Structure 1
Amino acid sequence: MDSSVRGLLWFILILCTLPHLTCNMVCPNSCLCNFNGAVMCVGNALTDIPKQLPSNTYMLFLNDTNMNVINEQSLANQDLVLRFSLTHSHLHTIHPQAFHVAPQLKSVKLSSNDLSTLPARVFSPLTALEQLYIDENQLETIAPEIFEGLVVLQHLDLRQNKLTSPASDVFDGLTNLTLLNLGRNSIKYLPPTIFHSLPKLLSLSIYNNELEVLEDGIFDELVNLEELKLHHNQIASLPPQVFWSLRNLKTLTLSSNRFQTIPEKSFYNMPMLSQLTIYNNPLLSLPDELMGHMPEMREFYLYNTNLTTVPGNLFANMSGLLRLNFHLNYKLRELPSDLFCCLPVLQKLSLKSNNLHHLHPQLFSRLTKLGLLFLNDNKIQNIPEKTFQGLGELLTIDLKKNHLNNLPGHIFLPNTALRSLTLSDNPWDCTCGIRGIARWIRHNQHVVIDKEDVMCQSPMYQLLRTIVSLRDEEFNFCDTTTVPSFPTLNELHETAQPFHTISTIGQKTASTTSLPGATSATTEGATQQATIPATTKPADSTTSEVKTHSTSLHTVSTTLPSEEFPLVSETDSIHCKSAPFYDILVVEQGPEFVHHNFHRGWVYVWYLPSDITLAGLHMFCHILLVAAGLFLILAAMYSIYRLGKTMDKLKAERAHNEG
């Protein structure tokens, strides 16, 4: 945000929050004054603090000015001013005696300037100072005597400077300090006793620095600390029990460091902790004893690590946890069955973008208050039927982008509150097993928000059909058991002996005899069609009817692909997997199955010859025809070009002769 915009925002803030001016008040140009004593001045025309301010001024804000120096008389005659702010003004120098004329100040804000050094004891006269903001400057070092005498200081903001190694006694004497912000500096090392003189500190921020180690005992005296921010550093290890003295800590951020391991019991003795973040660390493992009693924990972030699994008791002591973000762990393959055993009030669980392959049936069984469950972008291959049982308050389940090819038909029946379910980008297998979940989706289309993208990936004849479009009658064949009596594969490739199949439906039995040589003759390479009646003959029939549907196509006995209808022994049973073959199954050596249609009780099977030589000839002819077509097009274009040139030449000669 540039300086002019910031100045305008400050101006609007003061204008909106302070009462209107009185008519007899004297207010300098470029300033806005309030009869209660608040004055704000904005503009490059200001090079020093205006001398003629209202006599009751107690708050003085200067923003986006041209004031580069605070001299020894800038604050003179401002005996009532308690809060002084000079920001976004490229201030680079403060006179050593600048604050001697205003010892009554309680708040000094010098943010967003160009201060690179501070005179020794420059703030020492401010014995009543409670707040000091020197953030967003260019300070590289701070001498210990700079804060000498600030015995009542409560807030000290030094963030976004260029500090590297503060001295161990730099904060000595600040015994009433409650907030210290050292974030966004370049601190590489902190002495072990640097915070020992700050027993009342409530908030300590050291985020976005270059810390590599934490010294043992560095936080031992911060017994009242409630917030500790250490994220975005380069810390690779933690001393054992380094946080044990922080019994009142509520927020701890350790994310974006370099932890590969964390010592046992690191987070013990912190019963008040409500937010813990350790994400964005290259963690390889976690100890079995890591988390102590944390009944106040509400949010836990553990993502983007190298974990492959976690201890089963990791969350056991977080009985009050509401939101668990356990995602983006690309190597996390499995979860202990009792991992979520002790989270009775958990409302949100995110396991998305992990590497999970399977889910234990009891994994979520005790999450009775769970409302949001994200399992998308994993590699889950199947989900047991009782996985979501007991989750009566579940509102959202995200299962997209997994490896699911089927789901039990009753898997979501216990989830009566379900309002949003996503299932797309899974390799759904639309054979007999899909019937149950397809029926559930049809009856709950309002719940499956991506139903138009939930498509069949197999078998080939169902490719790209939506599961919601599948109808129950398409799976009637799944209840049919076919007991074949087939020759062996070698016998089938030899010649000549007919084989017999028996189709059993209910109590009726029909048999069909087919001869391998019974195929009608067709023109070489032509597309062929087979028709099969979709209903059985009475039990006393011995042959199936085969009819010709079109005079332009010949009729043959149908051939089944070996992948979907494997040959079995006489003692085995086979279940028909392909929707076209309802009652009568005729198998014969022949060309490969391509496509089918079911119409008015007949199954029309389209296929092509499987002879390799013939297929190669067809391909060669196709390429030859394409090449010939391209040649003719080019020849025609060249002829048109030559004809045009000839016409132009004739026109030119005619014009010359007429001239």
Structure 2
Amino acid sequence: MLKQRLNENLRSALSICLLSVSLFGSLSDRATAQTSNELTRFSDWCQQKATLNPEARHTVNVLLKEAKTQDCKKAETTLTGLTELFLTSDQIKDLQPLATLTNLKKLDLTNNQITDVQPLSALTNLRSLSLAVNQITDVQPLSTLTNLQSLDLIGNQVSNLTGLSNLKNLETLGLDRNQVHDLKPLATLTTLKELSLSDNQIADLQPLSTLRNLDALVLSSNRIISVQPLSALTNLKLLWLSKNQVSDATPLSTLTNLTFLALDHNQIVEVQPLSTLTKLDMLFLHNNQITNVAPLATLTKLGMLFLNGNRIEQVQPLAALKHLQALILVDNSLRDRTCPVQPASVCAF
């Protein structure tokens, strides 16, 4: 009987203890949330530093180091006067203390540990923002940053671009190494000049057909078969389509302002459509299924031509390319290994 009572008392005490811990945790969370809402100035964050979560405290310390003072008021004066701030590789996780720096026009947060960008929604004066190499999945909070001209999100985990559709002043956008597959939200960003989307899961390029001001477009390492939507982008000077599944280059024949074109590691057989691209200086066609290079003889401004890893038998038609500095022909089916241009050192067989 005594043993049974002891067990019952022990269970009751344990229940009370667990309830107390639960209540304390809940109250603590509420207090933290309330405190965060009350911290409207950097000096508030600084003065309450000891009560903050470790991530927010670390961010405050990084900012104090940037301000070169531990005095909260002096640091606030310095930091709120900044228009540019570079906090790269600082192990930052919590951006809340940054939300008070509303005069910032340029902010670089490359290579940190950021997952939540909500605090940045207050920084509406930003023109340039780099969040490259973080752990971001949700970009919706950035939709308020309508003055942005440059946004770097390279090396994150973004799949949904809807939050970017409102950024109508963007000229440069980097989204390499994410999980993007739907480009529709980008169709409204008609001021874009440079767009980089390599290493994603993109198959449909149709939404890009409206981006007529693009002069540089990077689409390497995706799932692209058709490049038809790109035919309207006649201002393009640089186009990178390496490591896709393109077999028909015909739509690219209209892109006569191109100076750089990368089509390596695709399934191209016919290069006739490229004969119109007479401004090309660099052309990457290695690792395709090309047999006839004669149509490339019109590209007399070429300085570098990569044709390795194809099925080419004759290269003499390339003799017209007098400006070549590098002609790479390794791993082909050449009958004659005579370099078609001089000096012969230009060629690599």
Q: Pick the aligned partner of 1:252 from 184, 191, 195.
A: 195
5 Å matches for 1:86-165?
A: 86=65, 99-105=72-78, 108=79, 126=80, 128-143=81-96, 146-148=98-100, 150-165=101-116
Q: Pick the aligned partner of 2:269 from 327, 334, 337.
A: 334
Render the CA deviation track for 1:558-607: whole Å, top value 9, x for unaligned: xxxxxxxxxxxxxxxxxxxxxxxxxxxxxxxxxxxxxxxxxxxxxxxxxx
- The whole-number CA distance in structure 1 between the counterparts of 2:262 and 2:188 is 27
Do structure 1's residue 222 and structure 2's residue 167 form an aligned pair?
yes
Judge conservation of contact 2:268–2:290 (CA < 8 Å) in 1.
Answer: yes
TM-score (norm 2): 0.71
Secondary structure at the residue paired with 2:73? Answer: coil
Corresponding letter in the other structure for 2:262? N
Secondary structure at the residue paired with 1:365? Answer: helix
Q: Structure 1 404/133 Cα, relative in aligned 2: closer, same or farther at 3 Å?
A: closer
- The whole-number CA distance in structure 2 between the counterparts of 1:291 and 1:195 is 31
Q: Pick the aligned partner of 2:331 from 401, 411, 416.
A: 401
Judge conservation of contact 1:393–1:418 (CA < 8 Å) in 2.
Answer: no
Judge conservation of contact 1:246–1:270 (CA < 8 Å) in 2.
Answer: no
Q: Structure 1 263/350 Cα, relative in aligned 2: closer, same or farther at 3 Å?
A: closer
Shift of 1:154: 0.9
Shift of 1:206: 0.8
Shift of 1:204: 0.6
Do structure 1's residue 344 and structure 2's residue 293 form an aligned pair?
no
| Aligned position for 1:320 | 257
**Structure number having the greater helix percentage:** 2
Q: How many residues of Structure 1 are paired with residues of Structure 2 in the alignment? A: 291
5 Å matches for 1:470-481?
A: none
Q: Structure 1 173/355 Cα, relative in aligned 2: closer, same or farther at 3 Å?
A: closer
- The whole-number CA distance in structure 2 between the counterparts of 1:263 and 1:396 is 32
- The whole-number CA distance in structure 1 between the counterparts of 2:109 and 2:325 is 45
**Structure number having the greater strand percentage:** 1
Q: Structure 1 422/157 Cα, relative in aligned 2: closer, same or farther at 3 Å?
A: closer
Percent of pairs identical after alignment?
Answer: 24
Q: Structure 1 368/179 Cα, relative in aligned 2: closer, same or farther at 3 Å?
A: same
Secondary structure at the residue paired with 1:104? Answer: helix
Q: Structure 1 199/308 Cα, relative in aligned 2: closer, same or farther at 3 Å?
A: closer
| Aligned position for 2:221 | 280
Q: Pick the aligned partner of 1:212 from 145, 154, 159.
A: 159
Judge conservation of contact 1:344–1:366 (CA < 8 Å) in 2.
Answer: yes
Judge conservation of contact 1:279–1:304 (CA < 8 Å) in 2.
Answer: yes
Corresponding letter in the other structure for 2:82? L
| Aligned position for 2:25 | none
TM-score (norm 1): 0.40
- The whole-number CA distance in structure 1 between the counterparts of 2:90 and 2:107 is 14
Render the CA deviation track for 1:510-530: whole Å, top value 9, x for unaligned: xxxxxxxxxxxxxxxxxxxxx
Do structure 1's residue 166 and structure 2's residue 101 form an aligned pair?
no
Render the CA deviation track for 1:125-152: whole Å, top value 9, x for unaligned: x3x3323344323443434x7514x442
| Aligned position for 2:205 | 263
Judge conservation of contact 1:268–1:290 (CA < 8 Å) in 2.
Answer: no
Q: Pick the aligned partner of 2:136 from 171, 177, 187.
A: 187
- The whole-number CA distance in structure 2 between the counterparts of 1:183 and 1:102 is 27
| Higher RCO, 1 vs 2 (CA within 8 Å, ≥6 residues apart) | 2
Judge conservation of contact 1:371–1:395 (CA < 8 Å) in 2.
Answer: yes
Judge conservation of contact 1:265–1:291 (CA < 8 Å) in 2.
Answer: no
- The whole-number CA distance in structure 2 between the counterparts of 1:231 and 1:396 is 29
Computed over aligned residues only, the root mean square deviation of the Cα atoms, in angstroms, reads 3.3
Structure 1 stretches lacking a partner, 5+ long: 1-69, 73-83, 109-125, 424-659
After TM superposition, the runs of 4+ consecutive aligned structure 1 residues lying more than 6 A away are: none
Judge conservation of contact 1:263–1:287 (CA < 8 Å) in 2.
Answer: yes
- The whole-number CA distance in structure 2 between the counterparts of 1:374 and 1:164 is 41
**Larger Cα Rg: Structure 1 or Structure 2?**
1
